[in-house]
A and B are shown apart, each in its own frame.
Chain A
Amino acid sequence: MKKWKLAAGLCASVALPSAALATDLEVTHWWTSGGEAAAVAELAKAFDATGNHWVDGAIAGGGGTARPIMISRITGGDPMGATQFNHGQQAQELVEAGLMQDLTEVAERDHWKDIIYPPSLLDSCTLDGKIYCAPVNIHSPEWLWLSNKAYADAGIPVPTNWDEFVASAPALEAAGKIPLALGNQPWQSNLAFGAITIAIGGLDLWKQINVEKNMDAAAGPEMAKVFEAAANARKLAAKSTVQDWNQATNLVITGEAGGQIMGDWAQGEFAVAGQVAGKDYTCLPGLGVNEYISTGGDAFYFPKLKDPEKTKAQLELAALLVSKEVQVAFNLKKGSLPIRGDVDLSAANDCMKKGLGILAKGNIVPSGDQVWSADVQKQAEDLMVEFWKSDMSAADAQAKWVEILKSGL
């Protein structure tokens, strides 16, 4: 008898939750650092308030670890309710294979076309006129973060642009500092190179190569200058031996390093360390030369599910992510820029306001994920990490880089 009761109890425990909460939605993402988790909690709170239930599926280890897991779950027939990707080409094949939920209905009802700014964000979610993802934030990688303390120790003023930064390097080295902090992970080298490209080469060159895919420009003398500048920058980073980006940011926070080229997510680290923008650290978008930021960021995709109840919940979540309240609450916690221009972010700090200003002026470029496939991005990362950490000549690196871009045409 006892056994039967136990078995019945077990069955009930399995059956009941699924019956009682039919609109559980598992959401996978790779936001696990302190500020990121707080931002996700805002999304979960808003979603739970609609009567549905947010089941958190955080995957630690960053996008490189999380994306393979997400993709194999979707292709392997065990899809989650919603999942984060960087908007761009990362999920394109999944959409093409018909594995993703079409959000056009919600997008048209809520007029996403009119409110999402810049429009390129929505373009990245669109395939054959249908919308498949809901963008949630903008992150731009083209920032130079400087330690005011390091420059005070060296007795020189804080640089206001990349050229001054390079010129100030010998003084920093004389004071026993690392001029440029750079983590060992491949994507960081690639990010730094991208930022230098826009700063040194300028926007026109960047667009010719990455948007119009002009390979002659990629192999040309303008780009050669960029490679020379990067070869110069790698000497400044030679003594930086840390692995993760936040360890490199920490070198800047403690004043051991002069600066770091990193995305605006670095702000979170400065905030956690209790530092104030302008007083303890200085941020230079576009490396202080060409004030452009690229509109990479995060978006949520919704795999197709069989249960119509869940599909309904998915559409509700999609509408919610783009709504004003959620955009403000989420982005203030995350330190990222909102995907619509009509929200009030007066609580933002100085660096975020600089970003908002650039965005309002329309000085934006598409992100690498938006213009190149993951395959090209990965190859470029492999090349860049080798280039930054060895003595490969600038000309060799450029030749290899052009080959990589050609593989993605």
Chain B
Amino acid sequence: MATTKRPRNRMFRNINAKIAAIPMVLTTLVVFVGGTIWTVVYSFTNSKLLPKLKFVGFDQYERLWSNSRWLISIENLALFGVFSLIFTISVGFLLAVLMDQKIRFEDTFRTIMLYPFALSFVVTGLVWQWILNPSFGIQSIVRSLGWESFTFNPLENPNLVMYGLLIAGLWQGTGFVMCLLLAGLRGIDEDIWKATRVDGIPTWKTYVIVIIPMMRPVFITTLVLVAAGIIKLYDLVVAQTSGGPGNASQVPAMYVYDYMFQAQNLGQGFAASTMMLLSVLIVLIPWAYLEFGGKKHG
């Protein structure tokens, strides 16, 4: 008994749990990893409507990176991403701090703040399309109040349209970030607050030098969630602007869909989605390093 048990000890520990995990492991390997590899391989072919293994090297990538629509998409995503990260996290944290002041009706406020997150991006996009529409949104309301020359029409202006999307994205996402960070704030031991108060450190300084560094894991998780959401940005744009005016609010995910299905050019769509995967990895790898690598040190 003892001889058979010892070498397989680790393999067979929690055997039931491991058997139960097999379907999920297989799903992950076949569907996610397998699908990913398949996509990357076919991105080097000239597949049109149906996948065909006829390799053309980096042709699809060359075409992709010389396509002005794709370049605009990347620029837009970078702009949306930077602003969205800065504002959701800073505004979300501010709201969480305000919420953490033991205010009355906290539940009510929390619900109100989180409510937009319960709406899908499609609904959010349509609502904001109407709010920003010049003929029955903000512009017409302000004009009907007497300011006849008031103009506020970001969705029709190629230079401003991304900010129109950003407003809708922030409105939808900030509440969720607030909740995550509020949970982080609640996890801070009350004794730390007492200690800083005894030392006479001002509240704002406590937040900056004590609380925020202590909340690092929560911030990193939030960062990854928000960043992953930004990279796959699709439905908000489709609902709010359909990528217009012109190509001014195109995003990479729309390019992938349009070229895979409308243009019947799978190779080009796969090349674009491989580039998106690459950008997700750029976000994920540092996170995994910080999250898991860091812990082992400690």
Contacts and interface: CB of A to CB of B under 8 A. Distances in A.
Interface residues of A, number: 30
Nearest to B257: A68
Contacts of A42: none
A178 B14 CA distance: 73
A395 B264 CA distance: 28
Nearest to B246: A389
Contacts of B258: 378
Interface in A315-342: none
B206 interface: no
Given A67-B262, A378-B258, A389 B48 contact: no
A93 interface: yes
Given A68-B261, A389-B158, A390-B158, A375 B268 contact: yes
A374 interface: yes
Interface stretch (A47-55, A276-284, A306-314, A380-388): A380-388
Contact of A386 (B49, B242, B246, B262): B246
A75 B158 CA distance: 38
B19 to A, nearest CB: 32
Given A241-B134, A389-B158, A390-B158, A93 B244 contact: no
B131 to A, nearest CB: 15
Nearest to B153: A241
B66 to A, nearest CB: 8
Interface in B243-285: 244-248, 258-265, 268
A76 to B, nearest CB: 11
Contacts of B261: 67-68, 71
A331 B140 CA distance: 42
Given A71-B261, A407-B63, A382 B69 contact: yes
Given A378-B258, A378-B259, A407-B63, A94 B49 contact: yes
A375 B248 CA distance: 21
B68 interface: yes
Given A93-B49, A241-B156, A378-B258, A185 B263 contact: no
A241 B132 CA distance: 13
Interface size class of B (residues with CB under 8 A): 20 to 34
A164 to B, nearest CB: 28
B68 A64 contact: no
Contact of B265 (A185, A375, A382, A400): A375
B50 interface: yes
A144 to B, nearest CB: 23
B74 to A, nearest CB: 15
A90 B260 CA distance: 13
Interface in A359-396: 373-375, 377-379, 382-383, 385-390
A385 B246 CA distance: 5
B263 A374 contact: yes
B49 A400 contact: no
Contacts of B69: 382, 386
Interface in B46-103: 48-50, 63, 67-69
A243 B242 contact: yes
A382 B64 CA distance: 13
A374 B262 CA distance: 7
A1 interface: no
Contacts of A386: 68-69, 246-247
Contacts of B244: 184-185, 243, 385, 389
B263 A378 contact: yes
A373 B63 contact: no
A68 B265 CA distance: 12
A97 interface: yes
Nearest to A389: B246
Given A68-B260, A374-B265, 11 more contacts: A92-B49, A184-B244, A241-B245, A375-B265, A378-B262, A378-B263, A385-B246, A386-B68, A386-B69, A388-B246, A389-B244
User: Which 8 pairs from chain A and chain B are nearest by CB?
Assistant: A389-B246, A378-B263, A68-B261, A93-B49, A184-B244, A374-B264, A375-B265, A389-B245
Interface of B: 48-50, 63, 67-69, 134, 153, 156, 158, 242, 244-248, 258-265, 268
17 contacts: A67-B262, A68-B260, A68-B261, A93-B264, A97-B50, A241-B153, A243-B242, A373-B264, A374-B49, A374-B262, A375-B48, A375-B263, A378-B263, A385-B247, A389-B247, A390-B158, A390-B246
Interface of A: 64, 67-68, 71, 75, 90, 92-94, 97, 184-185, 241, 243, 373-375, 377-379, 382-383, 385-390, 400, 407
